[in-house]
Amino acid sequence: MTPNQCPLCAQQVPGGNRVVGEVLSCDGCSAELEVVGINPLRLEEAPEVEEDWGE
């Protein structure tokens, strides 16, 4: 399994320098993917709305 892969459709996502919190768009399914880890690179589907975790 390659690290730069959409968790939803397995489409390859362009690699390169990523930072945690960066949001990418998947070319395959147009999903918003958030970088949640960089070592190793981990991508998760970004929430449609900002979650409010409270204070």
Of positions 3, 4, 5, 11, contacts Zn ion by CB under 5 A: 11
The answer to whether the CB of 46 falls within 8 A of the CB of 29 is no
User: Which residues in the 13-52 window bind Zn ion by CB under 5 A?
Assistant: 26, 28-29, 31
Is residue 6 near Zn ion by the rule CB under 5 A?
A: yes
**If we measure between CA atoms, which residue out of 49, 23, 25 comes closest to residue 36?**
23
Considering the complex, what minimum distance in angstroms separates the CB of residue 30 from Zn ion? Answer: 7
Place of tokens 């996502």: 13
The answer to whether the CB of 18 falls within 8 A of the CB of 37 is no
Chain residues in the site for Zn ion (CB under 5 A): 6, 8-9, 11, 26, 28-29, 31
